[in-house]
Amino acid sequence: MTGGEAVAVAHPNIALAKYWGKRAGEGNYPAVPSLSVTLDGLSTTTRVRFDGALAADGLVLDGKPADGEPLARVVALLDRVRARAHRSDRAEVVSTNDFPTASGLASSASGFAALALAASRAAGLDLDAPAISDLARRSSASAARSVFGGFVELEVGVDAARALAPADHVDVRVLVCVTSERPKSTGSTAGMRTTAERSPYFAAWLAEAPRLFASARAALLARDVEALGAATEASALAMHASAIAAGVVYFRPATLAALEEVRALRAAGTGAWATMDAGPHVKVLVRGADAAAARDRLAAVPGVLRILEARPGEGARVEEAPRPTS
Ligand code: PMV
């Protein structure tokens, strides 16, 4: 079989209980469990077209042809799809984000979730969501979570993420405080590797992360936003403390200024909790009713360039081709 085309859309997710560190061995399995919320509003749209006439796989990312590592990671996923579909034709991949790529806004999560879904469909495979999640996880473990909507968990040693609660389970928003439009300096894989190799606190992180995950999970299921927020901020700070001790510093002055404002909001009685990933942005978890006021305060923080406000969103989906009208 040759040819075949599909388009998929996926949203980024923000980990409330962080994944940081990989299990030894092959397969890109996380060393700790994680829990995330998939975001609406922000999205990646990816078109995959297999074509027997192509000499090599190609990638166009946000309108520009890509090569090097981004292309190599796409080819690795396409190779897994081809092996599964027993085919060898090459593909053209066109992917567009409506938010800054590689800046710590989890574009790899939505990117590989959309790619896994579009590539498997284009190749003629009809995989279920756990199989798509497994395919995405091997490229970027956080991408396994973006296959599902709402609140999602990825346990240790499993192949796929799992939906834990639907998007409307709790009325929360994530305020993404963008502090830079530049790509991040250290990607998550390199940051995790350096942390594992050099941080005197990596073992402490590995011991603490499952406890923070369990607290976040229980709080979510109990709809206890206060406890969920506390576990969320604690997980991010513990992850970054382990990374910082290895010299892996993602914080910029604006990151600390936004963190300070989140603490000031809490001191003034507004529930707001911060989380940061492999980049300088601060994502703030708030109740729906507090979103507008918290947003105004955070927008005034020096170095916060803009704020994207997201609700819990849906999982990855295939964009159906328009049907002919006659
Ligand atoms: O899946 P990766 O390689 O993009 O790593 C994600 C790491 C964090 O975003 C920092 C945490 C997480 O659980 O998403």
What is the rounded average pLDDT of the residues 54-70?
A: 96
Q: What confidence tens digit (pLDDT) does each residue in 207-228 have? A: 999 999 999 999 999 999 999 9
Statement: residue 325 has pLDDT above 90: no
User: Which is the closest atom of ligand 1 to the Cα of 140?
Assistant: 1
Instruction: Judge contact between 13 and 39, C-beta under 8 A.
Output: yes
Strands 151-154 and 34-38: antiparallel
pLDDT band at 102 (very low <50, low <70, confident <90, very high): very low
User: In the predicted model, what is the mean pLDDT of residues 79-88?
Assistant: 98
Give residues with Cβ within 8 angstroms of 14, minimum separation 6: 36, 37, 39, 106, 174, 176, 275, 277, 283
Q: Rounded mean pLDDT of 293-313?
A: 96
Q: What is the rounded CA–CA span in Å between residue 260 and residue 244?
A: 18
Determine the distance separating the centroid of ligand 1 and the alpha carbon of 314, expressed in angstroms: 19
Distance between CA atoms of 209 and 154, rounded to whole angstroms?
13
To test ligand 1's pocket by mutation, which of 77, 112, 142, 249 has the most ligand atoms within 8 angstroms of CB? Answer: 142
| Cβ neighbours of 303 (radius 10 Å) | 16
- % of the chain exceeding 70 in pLDDT: 95
Q: Which pLDDT score, from 0 to 100, does residue 195 have?
A: 98
The model's confidence at residue 3, banded by pLDDT at 50, 70 and 90, is: confident
Residue 65: pLDDT over 90:
yes
Residues 23, 303: Cα–Cα separation, whole Å: 36
For 268-302, how does the pLDDT look when each residue is reduced to its tens digit (9 = 90+)?
999 999 999 999 999 999 999 999 999 999 999 99
CA 19 to ligand 1 centroid distance, Å: 6
pLDDT band of residue 185 (cuts 50, 70, 90) is confident
Q: How far is 290 from 10, CA to CA, in rounded Å?
A: 27
Could you tell me if the CB of 140 is within 6 A of ligand 1?
A: yes
Q: Which atom of ligand 1 is nearest to the CA of 189?
A: 3
Please determine, for residue 89, whether its predicted confidence score (pLDDT) is greater than 50: yes
Judge whether residue 326 has pLDDT over 70: no
Mean per-residue pLDDT of the chain: 95
% of residues, the chain, pLDDT over 90: 91
Delineate the domains of the chain, giving CATH numbers in brackets: 5-166 (3.30.230.10), 172-310 (3.30.70.890)
Q: Which residue has the higher pLDDT, 55 or 185?
A: 55
Q: Give dist(CA 260, CA 258) in Å, integer.
A: 5
Query: What's the confidence (pLDDT) of residue 159?
Result: 98
User: Residue 169 pLDDT > 50, yes or no?
Assistant: yes
Q: What is the distance in A from the centroid of ligand 1 to the CA of 295?
A: 25
Q: Say what the pLDDT of residue 186 is.
A: 87
Residue 189 Cβ inside 6 Å of ligand 1? The answer reads: yes
108 lines ligand 1 (CB under 6 A): yes
